[in-house]
Amino acid sequence: MKYEFTEQSQGVFNFSQADQFVALAHAHNITKIRCHNLIWHNELPNWINNGNWTNATLLPVMLNHIEQLILHFGDTCLHWDVVNEALSDSPTATNPWAANVWYNAIGPYYVALAFQKAAQVVEDNNLSVKLFYNDYNIEWPGAKTTNAAILVSNLTAAGIRIDGVGLQSHFEIGGTPPIATSLAVQQTYTNQNNSLGVPIICALTELDIRATSLPVSDAQQIQQFNDYRTGKIYLIELLSGQY
């Protein structure tokens, strides 16, 4: 569903590969599908990466892409990752954003404009899709997590709909957060004041716990098993309070 595959030429959309995954899910009675993603700075087609863009030229391209994907998949998508990985890993006191083609041409408000457009399409077409911000390294307390919470707060304070935060959860063996830490961080998102009255939910979107060296020892495999079990317990607790 990423940009590189769905809009390889400007204004020409091809959903054939994404539709294969949807059909496979439906064939196995899987109806809850997360759709990933509408706007990201990676896996873009060459015409985006190599374009000489300005705000005036790139913004309508971005908005049209969002509209066409949401309309095509409709309520097939339980969640849409509207914007993926917009926050910097090394933010400054005045700038939390990662530099990319969207930020450079449109400015930092591209995130808000993307959510605004997604919400408009969902609401105009009476869809039940939930709209998410998705990122990594926002599962622990820290500057990036703080900025993700501020993003949620700022969007809702401006009356722009955001329904949830996706936690990519890329961890290392022996380096997963304790359950109490995970739940506390989740609450930094779910406790944000939502002026729209829509509760903010969290999802574990890309959970993996990788080895940092090979071959993997028996002790590492046992630790990895325990780390996944801890994550399962966290997920059960999270889901019990949010769905």
CA distance 231 to 209: 10
Residue type, 182: S
CA distance 45 to 12: 12
Q: State the catalytic residues.
A: 85, 206
Structure tokens at 86: 């917009």
Does residue 153 contact residue 184 with C-beta atoms inside 8 Å? no
CA distances from 70 to 21, 35, 130, 165 (A): 16, 9, 11, 18
| Closest to 169 (Cα-Cα) out of 123, 216, 202 | 202
CA distance 240 to 96: 32
Q: Burial level of 181, CB count in 10 A (0-12/13-18/19+)?
A: middle
DSSP 174: T
